[in-house]
Amino acid sequence: MVINMKIVVINGINHKGNTYTLTHKLLDKLDGEVNEFFLPKDFDEFCLGCAKCIFKGESNCPHYEKIKPLVDALVESDLIILDSPVYCMHATGSMFSFLDHLGYMWMAHRPNETMFKKQAVVLTTCAGAGKKRVLKDMNDSLFYLGVPKVYKIGVAMMAPSLDEMKPKKIKKLDKKINKISKKIVKKNGKVKPKFKTKAFFNIMRLMQKNGYNELDKNYWNDLGWTKKKRPWKK
Ligand SMILES: Cc1cc2nc3c(=O)[nH]c(=O)nc-3n(C[C@H](O)[C@H](O)[C@H](O)COP(=O)(O)O)c2cc1C
């Protein structure tokens, strides 16, 4: 067991329903300090499209003070957990609104170097259809933030709740959660980006060399990423 693992959970819905229950099935298998947020209770703003975060700096976002505790928790964590139920074949609007506010931290702009050393889990539940899309939505954001390892847990319950699923299905889910929790513990602090992340980082690196956004360009130059330094190396 890893005692010091810092875990941040962003729940894509306020209530403690099926998706929350699924996430907590995983958390029960992990030992660590958990910092949990609920959307929209803990962050309820839509991105206004001013692009100030990108061109003037994130502290100029009109919602900076509100989102700061969530961003700080993401940066400080070893493991990021994003969850959302499937609502109308997509992630919740609250989850999308939250993720929109992280655009300035994508590799195309100013990725936070801690992201390249983290693990993440995306989880969803649905009655029958849409889990792949929701997992992809959340996974895409994590990829572009630079997170190298993302586990996916999606459940099409074919029942009103997780407990009411067929026993065979419950057993299969428990087995999967067990397997993933063991991997998380084993790999904590040891993950490194694979080819896809490195390749995308490299394309962004070339782009920044001739970048049009001074803020992004200076960020990459100051960190030495346009030269030999890389965020995943010490
Ligand atoms: C507004 C709404 C939309 C939903 N849309 C879908 C859907 O598109 N596909 C599906 O399989 N289930 C859908 N469901 C069912 C939920 O995904 C399912 O009950 C899920 O486990 C709810 O998670 P929660 O308890 O965490 O909210 C929908 C439920 C609600 C309330």
- Summarize pLDDT for 13-29 with one digit per residue, the tens: 999 999 999 999 999 99
Element of type H or E holding 8: strand 5-11
- ∠ CA 128-132-134, nearest 5°, is 95
pLDDT of residue 123 exceeding 90, the answer is yes
CA of 27 to the centre of ligand 1 (A): 22
Reduce the DSSP state of residue 161 to 3 states and report it. coil
- Summarize pLDDT for 164-199 with one digit per residue, the tens: 999 999 999 999 999 999 999 999 999 999 999 999
Given this model, what pLDDT does residue 234 score? Answer: 73
Q: What is the mean pLDDT of residues 129-140?
A: 98
CA of 129 to the centre of ligand 1 (A): 9
- ∠ CA 99-100-105, nearest 5°, is 80
Atom 22 of ligand 1, nearest CA residue = 85
CA of 86 to the centre of ligand 1 (A): 5
